[in-house]
Every structure is written in C-alpha cells, then in structure tokens.
Chain A
Amino acid sequence: MDFNVIIMQLFTGLSLGMLYVLLALGLSIIFGLLTVVNFAHGSMYMWGAFVGVFTVAWTGNFWAALVLAPLGVGLYGLVIERWLIRPLYGRDINYPLLLTFGLQLIMIEVVRIFFGTSDHPFSAPALLSMPLEVMGIFYFPAYRVFLIVFTAVICFVLWFFLEKTDLGLIIRAGTRDPLMVRALGIDMNLIWWLVFGIGSALAGLAGILAAPIRSVYPEMGIAMLVECFVVTVVGGMGSLPGAIVAGILLGIVSSLTTLVYPQMADIVIFLVMAVVLLVRPSGLFGKAGLLE
C-alpha cells in the first residue's frame, strides 16, 4: 500500500472524526450531568443543518449561519429541557430516552412538512471551497482543514470553560455529586438547564459544519446518532476527553478500514465498541459504576 495513501487516509479519518467529536461531546456532557440519553441529538444535528441552509438562503452568509445554527438549536434545547425533560428527573433513565425518541420523530416530521423530503443544496463559502493540492497527486478540500481546526478550537474553548471558570467548576462538581452541590446552595436545575442548552448547541454546530460536506435531508441524523452513541460509549459515557479521543479514533479506524475491507467501514465501529467494552467495561475514559 502506498504510504501517501495512508497519510491521506489519516487526514480524511481526522475530518470524519471531528463531526463525531462535536456530536459526542454534546451527548456526553448531557449524559454526564443529567444522565439523559438524548435520542433527539441526531435530530438536533439535522436541525442545525437546516437552520444553516435557510440562514444562508436568506443572508447568503455562511458565517452568519455558523453562529445562528448553534444558537437556534441551543435555544431549542433550553425549551425542551425546561418543559419536557425536567418533569422526568428522578425517574428511571428509560423515560427521558423514550421521550427524546418520540421527540426525534416529531422533529424529523416537522422538517418534512415544511421543507419536503428532498435534499437541500449547500456549499462551503467560496473562500473554503478550493481543493488544496497535497503531494502532487492528491487534493484535500480547504473546508475540511477548516473543519478540523475549528473543532479543535471549540474543544479548547469547552475545556477552558470547564476547567478555568467558576461555572465550569460547578458543572464538574455536578457530575460528581449533584446532591452536595445543591447542599452548597447552588441551583442545580439551572445548571442542568444550561448544560442541556450547551449540548444541543454543539449538535446544532455539528449540523451546520456537516452541511457543506453531506446531503442535507430530514433523516440525516438517524444513522449519525447511533454512530455517536458508539463514540460516546467507547470514550466512556460522561467523559469529555473520552469523547474527543474516541471520536478521532473511530474516524480514523473507519477511514483505514476502507483501505482494507471497505464493506465493513460502517460496522467496524461497532466491532471496536464491542472489543472496548469487553476489555474496559466503562469505556476508555469512563468512570466505573456510573449508571449501572
């Protein structure tokens, strides 16, 4: 196998992994703090793409869409948490799961009703749509380089927020022992609310970032959701470094699989998950005992 091909493969794997990272971060942060398995995450990703498509249709500006999509989906997440998920705290984790499952059906249908079943054309801004020449024979789209860098920045911002700010401290404490945090006089409901909003916004962001690469249609989030569950579990549910490492890892594994046995490119992530869970029951970075 040509060495150059393998290098290119790593790059495509990295760009593939970045969308996993963004989605898995959102899933993981919601799960870690709220113990909500958010089945509507894939649909939020889809909504992010649609908000982006229509922002660009109205304003013609990709960068405006890049701001509005996470904002819109984040706000939507706040509404959902407040009115639908909050009443379920304290009940079995199956209930939020089931609720968000129903919610995703509605979210997909709403898009189908208003925007039809067809795909919506969407392209990267002119600035980023140039293929860059690599090693003489290959091209790599500038947009994907942007995607990789941008996701890295988002990860850094998130890390900074969680590790270096007071609010971040409270959130981290909340994942350890919400009861104790509450005893210290902090309104956990508010924290949970905020975290659900942030998680949703990350899904929306992944959606708008995916729109120039993938087809934008109502069911685009379904397969993505399952893949991101896998990523989250491999990384360890509730672990943010886990989500990042697992996202990149699975992107690259899937990309390299296309060289060896491409038919398995989809299924290989399940294989990785099975192996990881058999060897390390709580995922790569997961805490033992969480949600058992």
Chain B
Amino acid sequence: MAELQSQAAHAATTPAVMSPWDKVVNLVSRYPVAFMTLFFILFPFVVPYQALATQIIIWGLFALGYNVCLGYTGMLSFGHAAYFGVGSYTLGIVLIRLWENVWFGLACATFMGGITALVLGYLCIKRRGIYFALLTLAFAQLLYFVAFQWVNLTGGDNGLRNIPAVPLALPGFSVDIHDPLRFYFFVLFFVVLALLLLQRILQSPFGRVLEAVRENDPRARSCGYETSNVRWLAFIVSGAISGLAGGLYALYLHFVGIESLYWVTSGQILMITLLGGMGSFIGPFIGAGVFLFLEDVLSAITVNWMIFLGTVFILCVLFFPDGIWGTFVKLIGRKSALKR
C-alpha cells in the first residue's frame, strides 16, 4: 500500500506543526476503512440517484477484489468476469432453486467465486505476465461458453430471470431490502466487511509476503516462500470477493445477464482499477465512481460518449499513471514536502 507507506514516512518526518489539511489526509490514510465507512454512509445522499451509489459500491467491491490480484500481488488477470459471473449465477440459482435466503445465497456466491478461482488459479498461476493474462481469459471464455449453452440452468443468452425478491430474513424480523436506500446499506454492510477482512489480511505477515512477491518474486522465493502458493491464495481471495460482488449485483438487478461472464466485463474491471489507482483501498471505489458516473452522464448527452471515455483513459495514462487516487496522494505528498 504505497500511500500508506509514503504517508507513514511523511508522518515520521513532519514537524510538529501540521496544517489541518495534512492532518485530515494523515488521518484518512491511517484509518482508511473507518474513513471510507463514514464517507459511504453519507454517499447515497450526495449522488444524483441512490441506485448509482449502489452500483458504484458494488463495482468498487469487485474492483477491490480485482485489486488483490493486480495491485497487491502484481498479477494482471484478464478473466475476472469468471468469478463475478459465477457469483451472480450462483446467487440467482440458489435463490430460485435451493433456498430463498439472501444470506445463504451470498455466502454461496462468495464460496463459488473462491472455488472457481481455486480451480482456475491452480491451472494459471504458474504462468506469468501476458501468458497468465490470456490463460485466465481463455478459462473465463470457456465458462462463458458453458453458461451460454447450459440454458436449463442459466437461461443461456436470455439471462437468468425470475430471481425472487426475497426480504432479508434476520432472526426475529424481516426487512424488505428492495427499497433503494435500504438495499444500499445492505450492500454497504458487505463492502465494509470485505474491507475489514482485507485490511486484516494485508496487515498480517501474509500481506507482507504478498508485497514481497509483487516487488521481487525471485528474492521472495529465495527467502523461503513458496511464491506460487502465495499468489494462488491471493487469487482465491480475489475470486471470492469478486464472487460476492457478483452475487450482490445479481440481487440488485434481479437478473443475471450472460455478459457478466464475457471478457468485456474483465476489461471493464481492469479499466476501473487502473483508473482509480492500484494497490489502495480507496482507488477502486474512486475508479468505479468515476467510470459509472461518466458513463451515466455522458451517455445521456450523446450516443458517442465512448469517445470521451477513451480520451479520459488516454489522459490518465499519459498524465496520471498512478490513477486518480494515486495521483492525489502523490500531489499531497509533494505539497507537504515543499512546505518542509
């Protein structure tokens, strides 16, 4: 977590007098989960419509999962649609066929996302770089094909429909979560849960090893770590979080489109993650927010909105290679450095 480190280093050398702005930044960097939770609680009241807030945190969660792979372990996957899509279909199929229970459905979605990543990860993890990327793509496409053909289970090209609108069953009472705001907070609960879990993982010794693998694989290996197992484990965590996001998305739309498994979804999540900034908690959510907001606003203005999206990407790559959040953190760092 680059920004954490730079902020920590910065905090150590900063003189006693800090501007209020620096204090805020410092605080945010030190407690990202707390800050993000606070922000997300206010979030649905400041976006144009609540459904957008829900979409942003679901895609942000997916990007967060993807980031475990790309940002924290340095694996460029081009097949994350598989885990997202498997999560979506699992939730839908469980609610339709097995048990109309949201908790159970989401647990299954997370589990199946993880299991899929476990199996496919086993096959891909030994390959690196562009070969890894395309191998993950190949398996994701095969899953897409299976879902496309297995019409009885998935609905095929027409998508999985008639997912029941199940109320949230808690011991003692039940809540209808299909009011937009309530559903948002329901999703937020899982986002915070995932953030806490991820923070715990990354701050554990395992998280340190992940970083070591990303920065220098041979050296980590010579330190005695079985690096491909480390990467595999990260891949599974990433798949499980993506599966959870997929499950939530299916619950949100009451529908699973076959496109959720298509490679375009994998491309989109890569874009979102890079746009927001890799290797941080906040980046993926900023990426998802900017991406979806741009898409919504621009596509209402012109049919040719993709031209603006493309321009934004090119400008980002040329001038903000660390993504929006990464650039922001750097700018803050530089400003403080100048003051010093």
Q: Do chains A and B touch in the complex (CB under 8 A)?
A: yes
Q: Which of B306, B310, B317 contacts A95 (CB 8 A)?
A: B317
A109, B76: Cβ atoms closer than 8 Å: no
Chain A residues whose C-beta falls within 8 Å of the C-beta of B314 in the assembled complex: 84, 99, 102-103, 106
* Chain B residue nearest in CB terms to A290: B129
**Chain B CB within 10 Å, residue with most, of A94, A105, A233, A273:** A105
Task: In the complex, identify which listed stretch (A151-159, A187-195, A247-255, A275-283) lies at the interface while the others stay far away.
Answer: A275-283
B129, A292: Cβ atoms closer than 8 Å: yes
Q: A270–B261 Cα gap in the complex (Å)? A: 15
Q: Which of B138, B141, B317 contacts A102 (CB 8 A)?
A: B317
Chain A residues whose C-beta falls within 8 Å of the C-beta of B131 in the assembled complex: 233, 237, 277, 281-283, 292
B304, A274: Cβ atoms closer than 8 Å: no
B134, A273: Cβ atoms closer than 8 Å: yes
Q: A103–B76 Cα gap in the complex (Å)? A: 20
| CB of B181 closer than 8 Å to a CB of A | no
Whether A99 contacts B128 in the complex (CB less than 8 A), given A105-B306, A105-B307, A277-B134, comes out as no
Whether A106 contacts B138 in the complex (CB less than 8 A), given A237-B130, A277-B131, A278-B123, comes out as no
CB distance from B338 to the nearest CB of A (A): 25
Whether A274 contacts B142 in the complex (CB less than 8 A), given A102-B317, A105-B306, A105-B310, comes out as yes
B149, A263: Cβ atoms closer than 8 Å: yes
A87-114 vs B, Cβ < 8 Å mask (1 yes, 0 no): 1100101110011011111101110110
Chain B residues whose C-beta falls within 8 Å of the C-beta of A281 in the assembled complex: 126-127, 131
B145, A267: Cβ atoms closer than 8 Å: yes
A70-93 vs B, Cβ < 8 Å mask (1 yes, 0 no): 000000000000001001100101
B141, A113: Cβ atoms closer than 8 Å: no
Q: A84–B313 Cα gap in the complex (Å)? A: 12
Q: A93–B129 Cα gap in the complex (Å)? A: 9
CB distance from B273 to the nearest CB of A (A): 10
Q: A108–B145 Cα gap in the complex (Å)? A: 27
Chain A residues whose C-beta falls within 8 Å of the C-beta of B134 in the assembled complex: 229-230, 233, 273, 277
Q: Which A residues from 151 to 191 make CB contacts under 8 A with B? A: none
| CB of A271 closer than 8 Å to a CB of B | yes
The count of residues in chain B whose C-beta lies closer than 8 Å to any C-beta of chain A is 37
| CB of A57 closer than 8 Å to a CB of B | no
Q: A271–B137 Cα gap in the complex (Å)? A: 11
B310, A106: Cβ atoms closer than 8 Å: yes
B138, A108: Cβ atoms closer than 8 Å: no
CB distance from B305 to the nearest CB of A (A): 8
Whether A108 contacts B135 in the complex (CB less than 8 A), given A84-B314, A94-B76, comes out as no
A233, B310: Cβ atoms closer than 8 Å: no
A101, B141: Cβ atoms closer than 8 Å: no
CB distance from B279 to the nearest CB of A (A): 12
Chain A residues whose C-beta falls within 8 Å of the C-beta of B304 in the assembled complex: 109, 112-113
B306-340 vs A, Cβ < 8 Å mask (1 yes, 0 no): 11011111101110010000000000000000000
CB distance from B283 to the nearest CB of A (A): 14
Whether A106 contacts B311 in the complex (CB less than 8 A), given A84-B318, A95-B321, A274-B135, comes out as yes
Chain A residues whose C-beta falls within 8 Å of the C-beta of B139 in the assembled complex: 274
Q: A273–B311 Cα gap in the complex (Å)? A: 33
| CB of A226 closer than 8 Å to a CB of B | yes
Q: A187–B326 Cα gap in the complex (Å)? A: 34
* Chain A residue nearest in CB terms to B318: A87
Chain A residues whose C-beta falls within 8 Å of the C-beta of B76 in the assembled complex: 94
A258-292 vs B, Cβ < 8 Å mask (1 yes, 0 no): 00000110010011011001100111000000011
A101, B267: Cβ atoms closer than 8 Å: yes
Chain A residues whose C-beta falls within 8 Å of the C-beta of B107 in the assembled complex: none
CB distance from A5 to the nearest CB of B (A): 25
| CB of A46 closer than 8 Å to a CB of B | no
Chain B residues whose C-beta falls within 8 Å of the C-beta of A98 in the assembled complex: 270-271, 274, 313, 316-317
Q: Which B residues from 260 to 317 make CB contacts under 8 A with A? A: 263, 267, 270-271, 274, 303-304, 306-307, 309-314, 316-317
Q: A226–B262 Cα gap in the complex (Å)? A: 12
Chain B residues whose C-beta falls within 8 Å of the C-beta of A292 in the assembled complex: 128-129, 131
Q: Which A residues from 110 to 124 make CB contacts under 8 A with B? A: 110, 112-113
Whether A113 contacts B307 in the complex (CB less than 8 A), given A270-B142, A277-B135, A278-B123, comes out as yes
Chain B residues whose C-beta falls within 8 Å of the C-beta of A108 in the assembled complex: 306
Q: Which of B126, B129, B130, B138 contacts A271 (CB 8 A)?
A: B138
A230, B321: Cβ atoms closer than 8 Å: no
Q: Which of B130, B135, B309, B321 contacts A291 (CB 8 A)?
A: B130
**Chain B CB within 10 Å, residue with most, of A88, A98, A103, A264:** A98
CB distance from B175 to the nearest CB of A (A): 41
Whether A274 contacts B138 in the complex (CB less than 8 A), given A104-B310, A263-B149, A264-B145, comes out as yes
What are 13 A-B contacts with C-beta separation under 8 Å? Answer: A93-B129, A95-B321, A106-B307, A109-B304, A109-B306, A229-B134, A229-B137, A237-B130, A270-B141, A281-B126, A281-B131, A291-B129, A292-B131
Could you tell me which B residues sit within 8 Å of A by CB distance? Answer: 76, 123, 126-131, 134-135, 137-139, 141-142, 144-145, 149, 263, 267, 270-271, 274, 303-304, 306-307, 309-314, 316-318, 321
Question: Assuming A94-B76, A102-B310, A271-B142, what are 12 further A-B pairs, CB within 8 angstroms?
Answer: A84-B318, A87-B318, A91-B321, A102-B316, A105-B306, A105-B307, A108-B306, A109-B310, A263-B149, A267-B144, A282-B131, A291-B129
Q: Which 8 A-B pairs have the closest CB atoms?
A: A102-B313, A105-B310, A109-B307, A106-B310, A292-B128, A270-B138, A99-B317, A274-B138
